[in-house]
Chain A
Amino acid sequence: GEDVEQSLFLSVREGDSSVINCTYTDSSSTYLYWYKQEPGAGLQLLTYIFSNMDMKQDQRLTVLLNKKDKHLSLRIADTQTGDSAIYFCAESRGTDKLIFGTGTRLQVFP
């Protein structure tokens, strides 16, 4: 199937690290993306990783890709209240459509 799966909720304390996980099904995916959706707003690309990479770091964000297990994760270091949002992973397969996960709602509490 085409399912991209994520856990629905994650709650973390401000200053801690957040890890959001995603599993996908198509081993031929070329790019994998993380998008952020803040309340009442559209989706914004946070970061992406090409399928031949294992890890990508961008400031507080670290993306890990395990192709063997088809597992993607997003780690946010020093999580802030402004990071509260819904996070979507997505995969693309060449020029085909983007397949999105169900989204993980991250709640950061003081």
Chain B
Amino acid sequence: GAGVSQSPSNKVTEKGKDVELRCDPISGHTALYWYRQSLGQGLEFLIYFQGNSAPDKSGLPSDRFSAERTGGSVSTLTIQRTQQEDSAVYLCASSLTGDTEAFFGQGTRLTVV
């Protein structure tokens, strides 16, 4: 596609439910990032993929969070047993390589009620 696509754009879920967030990066981009932006806050790094492997998972806040990337393309971020503090906008970005311009998707706004 022309840009980074994220789905859904909005998700409201009940506390304790699992959610999956999807990111379709720009075709051919090897690097993929997940960030979280809480209301009024900066960007919190979650995880970085180079191809299908994740050399840096240091930002995942707890073991309820996991992510995978298949075929060097689509990535899913899974949050298990969601909590209210997980409410945020989850942003995905991709770049051609790890040190070139990152293009961001519009984000998924997650609300846990």
Which residues of A are at the interface with B, using a C-beta cutoff of 8 A? 30-31, 33, 35, 41-45, 48, 88, 90, 92-103
Contact = CB atoms under 8 A, between A and B. Distances in A.
A43 B94 CA distance: 12
Contact of A103 (B42, B99, B103, B105): B42
A17 B28 CA distance: 39
Nearest to B98: A95
A99 B48 CA distance: 11
Contact of A97 (B56, B105, B107): B56
Contacts, number: 58
Interface string B81-113: 000000000010100011111111111000000
B38 to A, nearest CB: 11
Contacts of A100: 35, 42-43, 45
Interface of A is mostly: strand
Of A33, A94, A97, which is in contact with the most chain B CB atoms at under 10 Å from its CB? A97
Interface of B: 4, 31, 33, 35, 41-43, 45, 48, 50, 56, 91, 93, 97-107
A103 B91 CA distance: 15
B101 A97 contact: no
A58 to B, nearest CB: 14
A94 B105 contact: no
Contacts of B102: 33, 45, 90, 98
Contacts of B42: 88, 100-103
Given A42-B91, A88-B42, A98 B97 contact: no
Nearest to A41: B106
B40 to A, nearest CB: 9
Given A31-B99, A33-B101, A95 B50 contact: yes
